[in-house]
Amino acid sequence: MASDAPLRPGTLFGGEYEITGPLARGGMGMVYTAHARTAGHDCALKVMHPALLSDERSRERFTREADLCARIDSAHVVKVYGSGIEPETDTPWIAMELVEGEDLEKLCRARGAFPPAEARELLTQLFDAIGAAHAVGVVHRDLKPQNVLVAAREGEPMRVKVLDFGISKVSRDEGTDTTAAVGSPLWMAPEQAHRGRLTPATDVFALALVAFRLFTGRLYWMSAASGKIAIKEILLELVMRPLPTASVRAKELGLDVRFPPGFDAWFDRAMDRDPAKRFHDARAAWTALEPVLDGRGSDEPVKPATPATPATDEGHATVSLGPARDSRTPPPPTRSVLRSPTPTPLPMLLEAARDERAQKRPRSMVVTAIAVLALLLVATVVVMTRHHG
């Protein structure tokens, strides 16, 4: 039977991996640094939490990660060396490439907005990883800065590695069934909140949010602007409230950000509430974004997307993201787009909506009371006038 105690340095796991120290702790398991005796190299060893061993769904999700990562042909997805079940404790494990670096969220908190050239390089690699996943029918479903490792050695360019494909799905396996509400509220797409069908376009929504984070140093959602994350408020913004363009939202956050021509149009399409109107996958989204970041974008709205189909198998800051617009050319009108809401929200969303209405109700009741009193006063005056007449 597996012990709840973490593995100690020097422990030989599975007869092959010598534990050298703890590395990270996640929802599914502990990650250790280890030395593979036979292969002769260091690695990251992910071991499933003992408390989850009896949960078949958790076991399937844990072991799926190794299989899916092996399918994806990208240098920017963490390489899997091997996986299996430790026989003595019946514990699933995955041996992965050991990447020395920080997750992107930690870097964003420490640095704020990235210089345009660095942001572009990070996005190039991130889109390559997710594009390769989509090419083999894999939807990540939990894409966020915390799942993006950035390794940067002195004198070398930054290297991106995407992690945690544990809750990913092969698109064709989804059929027409709805999915569980997976993902992180700050980065999920509307269809995830509604338990709708997930396609590669689901990851495109998250990629747009990550791009906004890199270029501005801030989260897109106004509900998170104070630093306190209220899940109900985030979900209300996600599925019910207007989703403005990147430029409009940056101004609302008190930022002075100059996006290159074409970025708002790209962002607008990538963030459409209707998955069928977004770019259908990461490669299509990057094909449209790359020229924008190179200063070759257009302020014309991006043409409507073809329907998304499943694949086969703080404070003020000034950021310039591209060539400045010619001052002689009038800027395009600013648009705040209210996209059509998606149907049938989760009970949490309904509860949040009721809460929002309840907050507004006292004001409406006061207005109604004043109106009634005014009518009564008018009626009294009329009656008294007639009486004296």
Number of domains in the chain: 2
Q: What is the pLDDT of residue 325?
A: 38
H helix and E strand count, the chain: 10, 13
Q: Is the separation of the CB atoms in 266 and 205 below 8 Å?
A: no
pLDDT at 280 over 80: yes
Please check whether residues 127 and 211 belong to one and the same domain.
Answer: yes
In a domain, 386, yes or no: no
Model confidence, pTM:
0.75
Please check whether residues 41 and 139 belong to one and the same domain.
Answer: no
CA dihedral of residues 245, 248, 251, 253 (deg, nearest 10): -50
Average pLDDT over residues 11-31: 91
Please check whether residues 167 and 85 belong to one and the same domain.
Answer: no
- Catalytic residue from among 4, 73, 142, 177: 142
Q: What is the pLDDT of residue 254?
A: 96
Average pLDDT over residues 111-140: 95
294 carries an active-site annotation: no
Average pLDDT over residues 81-89: 93
SS3 35: strand
pLDDT at 330 over 60: no
In a domain, 300, yes or no: yes
Ramachandran angles phi, psi of 144, nearest 5°: -160, 160
Chosen domain end from 96, 123, 142: 96
Please check whether residues 32 and 67 belong to one and the same domain.
Answer: yes
Q: What is the pLDDT of residue 174?
A: 43
Angstrom distance (rounded) from CA 253 to CA 24 = 33
Model confidence at 65, pLDDT cuts 50, 70, 90, reads confident
Model confidence at 378, pLDDT cuts 50, 70, 90, reads low
In a domain, 374, yes or no: no
Question: What would the pLDDT profile of 203-258 be if each residue is shown by its tens digit?
Answer: 999 999 999 999 999 999 999 988 888 889 999 999 999 999 999 999 999 999 99
Residues in CB range of 41: below 8 A, 6 or more apart: 35
Please check whether residues 116 and 31 belong to one and the same domain.
Answer: no
Residues in CB range of 138: below 8 A, 6 or more apart: 68, 71, 72, 165, 168, 169, 170, 171, 311
Average pLDDT over residues 107-129: 95
Range of the domain at 155: 103-348
Please check whether residues 269 and 146 belong to one and the same domain.
Answer: yes
Q: Is the separation of the CB atoms in 305 and 277 below 8 Å?
A: yes
* Sequence-separated contacts (24+) of 284-288 with Cβ below 8 Å: 285/127, 285/204, 285/207, 285/208, 286/123, 286/124, 286/127, 286/128, 286/131
SS3 39: coil
The proportion of the chain whose per-residue pLDDT surpasses 90, expressed as a percent, equals 56
In a domain, 354, yes or no: no
Here the tokens at position 286 are 């990057």
Chosen domain end from 327, 348, 369: 348
Ramachandran angles phi, psi of 31, nearest 5°: -115, 130
